Amino acid sequence: MKESELTNLVRRLGQNITEAPSRLPENKITEGWTRLMLIDPLLKALGWDDLYEVIPEDSSIDHGWIDYTLRPSVTDASSLCVEAKKLSSQPPRDRSHEEIQKGIEQTQVRGSDYLIWTNGDTWQLFAVKLPYAPIYEIRIGQVYKDESKIQPTVDWLRLISRETVVNNPQSIVEQIMAYWKERALPQAFKALSEELAEETIKLMESVLPKDLKITSQDILNFLKECEWKGGIQGDQGTWEKPRHWFKPCLQEWEKLVTSGAEKYVRGRENILKDSNKTKLGQYLINDKYEPFPKSVAYSLLGFAKRGKDTRGPVGSALGYFKALGFVEIVDPQSRGDEVTYKRVDAAMQFLKRILQSG
């Protein structure tokens, strides 16, 4: 399914998930209804439409049933098990939940690598080999009233597509690890200010000036007021300076297109929500593209004239794309208006996918 079709499907499912409880009697929204109306269409859209690769009601004599096993007909490919519940089912909030423990056991018995728990709205992904990772999930219903959440939701869902499972299974582990790492630091800080508060207070007392007579309660109040402001790898939300978090290469460009990690999601949004960056991107992937001098870059972005009002937007777009490795300077020794930019051909397939996703 094309990206725009998947996006539209997610949008429709978000509406159905939101409206169904008020339009249908509760006894009609069964697990069967949920699978038929919400889960099956999405699995098919993600490439799980081969009757020889999708095993519904997969049974095991010793360990019962699993609702789906998704097993690609490719040698040594990873596989997934799916535990489906009716829409009204409450998602587990802990890996020790009975349904998750049972599902992981069934997943291991079948030699699969991942378990998906879903009620059609919430989709939770568990890696068998990462038993201590937090629950990694997305909610489709959230897109109904918040259009900005559609693209991150689609990106997350693409992670469990057949294409990813077959061609880039390691990215699934990488995304779960990135999600885990993003939450580990604030959780550790919370532990220092709560469960380990006594030890933390003693440590701070040992380095604070004695003359200030700061009490234990003062320190505790300070810890409680502190908030985690950073993001992954300490980027602190500074998306206009991608050089701090992005190293242009094939692997990073792929993540910029597909990753559900916050920094990559924000990176994509920075392109799609900025009309100047979008216009520059459309020019770069166009068949009529030619290397261009900095002095005419403003006209590529649709500005009627060049001046102080165009300098900032042009510089921002060029600087961002240069930091992402989408463009480079033909002659690094050039100065001022003599600078000529050219696209990096190896990166254009990724830029095109980002623009198409919007």
**pLDDT tens digits for range 57-75:** 887 656 678 999 999 999 9
- Do 173 and 125 form a contact (C-beta atoms < 8 A)? no
Residue carrying the six token digits 């939701």: 153
pLDDT digits (tens, 9 = 90+) for 269-304: 989 988 889 999 999 999 999 999 877 887 888 776
Mean pLDDT of the chain: 86
The H-or-E segment that residue 264 falls in is helix 262-272
Residue carrying the six token digits 């998906």: 116
- Burial class, 199, CB count within 10 angstroms (exposed 0-12 / middle 13-18 / buried 19+): exposed
pLDDT at 34: 97
Q: Which two tokens stand for residue 18?
A: 């939101």
3 state DSSP class of 342? strand
- Burial class, 254, CB count within 10 angstroms (exposed 0-12 / middle 13-18 / buried 19+): middle
**Could you tell me what percent of the chain has a pLDDT over 90?**
53
Integer Cα distance of 351 and 281 in angstroms: 7
Integer Cα distance of 358 and 355 in angstroms: 5
Asked if pLDDT for residue 251 goes beyond 50, the answer is yes
Asked if pLDDT for residue 1 goes beyond 60, the answer is no
Please state the separation of Cα 106 from the chain's center in Å. Answer: 27
Integer Cα distance of 53 and 82 in angstroms: 13
Local confidence band at 236 (pLDDT 50, 70, 90 cut-offs): very low
Local confidence band at 307 (pLDDT 50, 70, 90 cut-offs): low
Q: Specify the pTM.
A: 0.61
The H-or-E segment that residue 219 falls in is helix 216-225
Integer Cα distance of 327 and 300 in angstroms: 14
- Inter-CA distances, 94 with 90, 97, 126, 131, 322, Å: 12, 6, 11, 12, 43
Q: Annotate 177-186 with b (16+ C-beta within 10 A) or e (fewer).
A: ebbeebeeee
In 3D space, the residue among 40, 119, 122, 111 whose CA is nearest the CA of residue 71 turns out to be: 111
**Which DSSP string corresponds to 175-188?**
HHHHHHHHHHHHHH
Detail the DSSP E strand segments found in 80-239: 80-84, 114-118, 122-127, 136-139
pLDDT at 231: 41
3 state DSSP class of 194? coil
53 contact partners, CB below 8 Å, separation of at least 6? 70, 71, 72, 73, 162
Higher pLDDT, 2 or 191: 191
In 3D space, the residue among 318, 338, 313, 336 whose CA is nearest the CA of residue 328 turns out to be: 318
Asked if pLDDT for residue 308 goes beyond 70, the answer is no
- Do 121 and 99 form a contact (C-beta atoms < 8 A)? no
Question: What average pLDDT score do residues 248-274 get?
Answer: 89
Instruction: Give yes or no on whether 3-168 and 242-357 have one common fold.
Output: no
Domain locations in the chain as residue ranges: 3-168, 175-234, 242-357
- As assigned by CATH, the class of the 3-168 domain is alpha beta
Q: Which two tokens stand for residue 32?
A: 């069967």
Integer Cα distance of 140 and 262 in angstroms: 17
pLDDT at 67: 95
Q: Which amino acid is at 42?
A: L
CATH architecture of 242-357: Orthogonal Bundle (1.10)
